[in-house]
Structure 1
Amino acid sequence: MIFSKFLKKKWQHKNSTVRVEAINSSLSIDEPEQREIIEALAANDDNENVRRAALIKLNSYQSWLTHSQENNMVKVKQYAGKKVCAILTDQDTIKLSEQDKLTYIKNTNDYSFFETWLKTAEEANLIITLFEKIANKTQANDLSNKLTLKPQVLVNLFSLKQNAEVQNYIISKVDDLDTLEKLKKKSQQLEVTQRLTDKIAKLHYAIEQPIVLCKKINLVLAKLQALKDQYDYKEYLDKRESLNTEWQALIAELSAFDTAENNDFIDKHQTITVQLDKLFATKAEQHVQDEIARELSDAKQKSRIHFDKTLAIIDQTLTTSIFENDDIEEQQYQTLFDKLTSEIIASVLTKEEQNSFIAKICQQQQKLQQLPEIAQSVSDATHLISKVSQLAMPTTVAEMNERQTVYQDWLGEWTNAEKNSAGALPDSIKNAANEIQRNWRQAVKPLQQAQKQEFSVTQKKLHDVKRLIASGKYNAAFGVFKKAKQLFNALSEQQQNRIQKDYDSLSEKIADLADWEHYIATPRKQQLLADIKTIVETPLDNPNEQAEKVKQYRKTWNSLGHADDDEEQKLNTEFNQLCETAFTPCRLFFAEQEKLRAQHLLTRQGFMEQATLLANKLPSTTEDIDQNIVVDFKALEVELNQVVKQWQSAGQVDRAIYQEINQQFNNVLQPVKSAIKVYHDENKEIKQQLIGTAKQLLEQDDVFKAVNQVKTLQTQWRNTGYSGAKVENKLWQTFRKINDDIFTKRDQQSAIEKSASTAKTAELELALQTLEAQFSTINQLQELQDFEQALQVLYHEVTQQKPKMVKLEKQIIAKEKSLAKKIVDCKQANEKQQWRYLFTALEQGVASEAGFTEQGEYQHLNTFWQKKLKELTNKEQLANRAEATLELEILSGIPSPSELQQSRMAVQVNLMQTQMSSGAPIDLEDKFSQWLMLGKFDQQDIAYLNRVKPIFQ
């Protein structure tokens, strides 16, 4: 259990900070196994920071997307989702293709994000796909289907997105002429306007199709009629077939006409067809003859194919029978040949073709007569295949040289057997032979290349022997020639023949040199004695160079070979004495070096004492630890580095002593190093925590708050001690990069907000201008109300923006006030017009006695008054409207006739009592409705109507 604790990887550490560090520094996404570990940590680790670190390490769109959908930690899932949104909206370093974005839209239903994305999207395909996804939330996003969208929705999109492709998409969705006309008024691009014009023209064309269809039918009939003048019958048939095809296509569209017109067209076509048949009867007969000739040609071709196939089957069957040694019924084959000959003679083939096929039959008959010879050749071929199959493929050059002759003999025998078989060898045998030849070529190809290389090496060795002999290096020449001889013997006979002359010449020279070896070595050894005497008499200044020179002379002496027998012993003795004398100064030098090593040992022992004093500065007892003795690790590390540096430059000592004293030195300093390492590790952990906190701040949405907090982290970093040479710079670079990213993010956010605000302001101002232009000439109430509603929607969107768009808000408010007044005026004008229509309908209805609903003004009345006039028409009982007329005059405040003043006062008193008892105000329009519906309205009521009209006009 103890060892397993130490054997765990850093990414398995129970401390999440250590796992984060392992992800950042130890694990690599380039190694498949380590990448799997990172992916597992991202999906399964119980710490949010570890998962985030793993995702940041992976840093791929697919990883962000997967964890935004499947990660079981809500915050990590949300974090990944924000990252995906940033990537999709091009606010991240990871860039996606348009196809990847379209795939995301297709596979997800985040409509809130889609609406936000649509406002900033610029690519036409994205705008279209996003719009269809939002507009059809319950329908699968299949772009191949023509979606049913509300015209007003399409019109709004057309106005907001001044993109030719988007507007062309909208045009493709609209087939209504009125909507297309509205789009054309709003179009600002020449190309889009042209397409709208074209589509409107096409729709008009569809309306005019019957006229066009009639012209097409008449044109086809005229072309059929014109075929009477056609001379070439084949061309006549082609044109008539083409016109008949056109006619059949037009017949399917005859439903646009009535039955009489249909019959008329069909009769005309029938008449022309009969005339053409009579006119071209003779040429039709000739055409039949031509067709017969063509059929004869086809029959000949079929006969050729049949006879070729039959002869091939006979040949294959005969070959198989020969190979398998089956009994061959010659009479049966002869009967088959006779029958086939009869078929050939009776066929439609020409005489030359018949003779050709009969000649092939004769060849088969001859093969039948040569069966013993052919059978023997097949047997020989089979035996050859079996024989060569036992020949193993060469694996070495020697084996190749040995077996090449056997293979060549077999190849010649195989060629003769194949020739004698008269083509009767089965495919299996021929394929086997081809396979053997192919395998042999493949096997010997690398061996031949190797042999060629060995030949080149042999040539080079022989050339080296020549060069060494020419330069007088005879001992070396002996060794090289020995190697060249081995290579030469390994060559093939053909290759040996190519260099035999050079080899023989060098062999003779080497033999001669062997005789001259003693003669050559004696003077050279004497010269070498003279050379070494020189450094004995005048030693070199550098003892190391002197020693090296002696070694070199010894090596040269050993390479010179044997001198004359009577001189060899004497020369060797003298050379050994001179070498010993020449090496004497070197021994003195090395003795001095030994003294220096002893001094260096004393120096190192002094450094050992310094190391011991340094180690004693650490708290070593429990009492020291309890007293909380503070150690200045920074100064301690400086002293440690100084001692180690001095130790390393203290000079050489004996190897055995150095190993022992160096181990002691390291053992003394080990507690110091361990304490400093613990100090570094603690600082490293603190800094890693600061890095983790900084990473969290980097992911915060409020980047300005994150900037203030990261400044505090910078202060904490400065107050934290050193973390060690290996990690300090890496930690600082990581921390600094995160800081830079946060400040960059702040700058980007500021720029984005400013840019977005500017763009949004321009967009909304353009939307206001578009609305103003769209509704600049309207006067109808419904259009004014639509304009008011559009302004309210725009105002709501403007008020949601940050920072506030005060100027634009004021413009919209001013426009709404002006529009509200215009709507009120329009409503009042409409109400007055309604009253005029009503009074006119009443007056004309009484005057004409035709009924109120029969009057032209009746159609212009709203539903309420139309219903009232229908009810009034059904009234049969007359009513006295005198008192009710006075009530209307009193309520409206207009005077009554002077003779009715007394009655007016009485009615006024009754009205006051009624109002006091009910407590509710009296509606003047409702009162008029009651007045109107009192009873049948006839001529006597016109006077009352004239008194009432001024109240409502």
Structure 2
Amino acid sequence: MAAFLQKLFKSRKAATTDNRKAPRSPEPVAPATAEPDHRELLREQQEQQLSGKPEQAELAILAIEGATAAIRLKAARELRDEQHLQQVQKNAKGRDKVVFQTVKQALQELREHEASKQATRQRIDELVRQAEDQARSEDTKLFEARLKVLQENWQQVDSAADATQTQRFLQAIHDCTGKLQQLEAAQIEEQRHRDQKQQRQDTLALLQQTLEQLKATGVASQPSEPSLDALQKTQENRWLEATRDTTVEKQEQKEYEQAMLSLRSLLAAVRRLNHSLPDIQAQLGETGTGAQPPGPEAAKSLLDEISWPKEYPAPESLQQLARHAGKPAKAPKPAEDRADQQQKLKTLTESLDKLEASLEAQLFKESRQLLKLCQQQFQELDERSRRPLRARMQLLSGQFRELSDWQGFATEPKQVALCEQMEYLADQHMEPEAKAERIRELQAEWRELGGSSDRTLWNRFKAASDIAYEPCKAYFEAKSDLKQVNLQQRETICNELALYLDQADWQNADWKAAERIHQTARQEWKAAWPVDFRNNRKVQKRFDDLLKRLEQPLDAERKKNEDAKQAIVDRALELVAHEPLQEAMEQAKALQTEWKQIGITRHREDRKLWQAFRKACDQIFARRDAQRSAQKSATEQADQHAREIMAGLSDLDTDHTEESLAEAKNTLQTLSDTALSKAMREQLHQLRRQLDAKVRIKRLEKKLDSWKNLINQRVATAVPSEQAPQSWQSLVNSDVAIPGRDLAIRAEILAGTESPEADQARRMEIQVQRLTDGMGSSEHQSAEQELEKLIAHWCLHPDDEGRNRENANRLAAALQASISRQ
């Protein structure tokens, strides 16, 4: 009420001020140009403010309260601060769609930009952390490649990094570069040691191969002293270089010393043999002088002086000398018949043919196996049978040595690489299973290369394999203990499963619990792995038998439940064409509930049955969807028809006759009986309310014309009661007479129109009185009823000075204004 009184006093004060400035005219004219001038001035001020690069806060105010849409949009586009953008978005929502969308997009772009900057900062921090981690890491695998990737990635974000981040990254890269140089130096030094080791292995391999060949095939009539001497000197120098400033294993040094000792022993024997050749010839009577050769004692003395190593076949001259001395050169083999020697000779000949073909095809692995076979078969022959094939054996042995040299030249880099990989693997910390698997792979690759004739290279590979497998060995020992624990766990599972089966009551069983026990037993059995295969056989058989005992009742129950679900599927298929549809849907829902209550089934069969059941239910509810679709189509057609009719009726106004408005209402009533949508039905009701209001205004206008006539008639003379509406008398009987001036003021209050300046004080008194009467009264009348009551007082109360033409005009104008407000 206080606000209402304040508004009244404000209106009065404004009217008083205007009257002081200008005399009151009969027809007051509103200041029509005041508001446009003010808005134009405001627009110019805001445009000037925009052109002067205002602050973000000022732009936010302009974007919300700008005089024109262009000003608000321009201010919104220049906003950059997130807080002000959020403020403008909140205030523009529902008021200015363009500004709202512009600010929303600017906020999105701002957030995306901030997210991108945040991602870049995180990327920089991550690169700095990775560089520092690599500088501290002891993992040298792909060190240079990872360092290169770090530097390439840093170039992409270098410009966004601050000074501290750049300093940290560069320091880490510097440390990495120093570590890389140390790695390269260590690799060079390691390579030198590997090369020296390779040279030692090559030396040992050459010595052992030469000595083995001499032991297997012997030498010709006389060993070559210069070749053996050259071999000794070159390999001694080679060994000295290969052992300089490096560590040599004791076993490796021992092998070299033994091989070199055997070679020196042979070389010394060859020298003694060459020095004693004239004496041997004299003993054998080959001097050509015709002198009688010395006796056996002299021959024995000469053999002892030469002292030929027993592990090497003696030359032909020594063998003859030994026969002359009366003792064999070599212990004879067990006597064999001639036929057996012929068969072995034939077998050796065939093996030599195969060896020759394999050597021509350069098949190293096959040739090596065939050569070993031929050497074995050659040793099984007696001296007489060997003699024809000795030269061929030496020839093929030489060819194999050449092939071995070429094979070693081709495979040696690969074998060295395998050694390096195995040595690298030995230094790596890996899962034992994966490490052991990698060791097996490298060993398989070594075997595929045909092994190595270089004993040193093989020893290197073998030593690296042993070192690499050492942690795996401990793991597999622990795994062996784990196998025993798992075996015990499996025995426990069998015992518990057997106890459950012995106590189970299948007539009243909890089938879901039984199925869970079956699944759990299988899962726990699988989890108890690994186990020793040999010890697991008996336990596995027992477990399989127990599972079969458990599966038999479970399968029977599953089959029964599957039959029940199949029956539900059949009933659902019958409902596909069932009528009425609502009943079919209710029964389908009941079937779904019944389906859920059925117990265990096999997963695959249950899935098939469920798909069939789901398909039948989908067909049932598809019929409902089809009906809804038909209803939707009918609603759309009804809405379209209603739009067309309502479009023609929306132009009706109070200028039309009451009959045409009533006909339009009947048409709308007919449309309300069709399948309209909720929104269209609301529009229809709204249009009907508008037509009702127009009819009411039409009827009110008719009343207004008759009331104006009565008002004007009362100015000249009294209005007979029979000319006035019958209800008017009851309206004025209980009330005191109201002066005509007050009636005009009250009508102006009800119509919301202005009263003359002279009546402002009286109008205020009447308004206060109306408020007082209204708060104390429980009856509420409409403005139309109150106006009718005022007119009844005007026309039917006794005459007074207030029933004049001026007040009559004021009363009629108030009536007209109230009609215009309808």
Q: Give TM-score scaled by structure 1 length.
A: 0.25
Higher relative contact order (CA 8 A, sep 6+): 2
Structure number with larger C-alpha Rg? 2
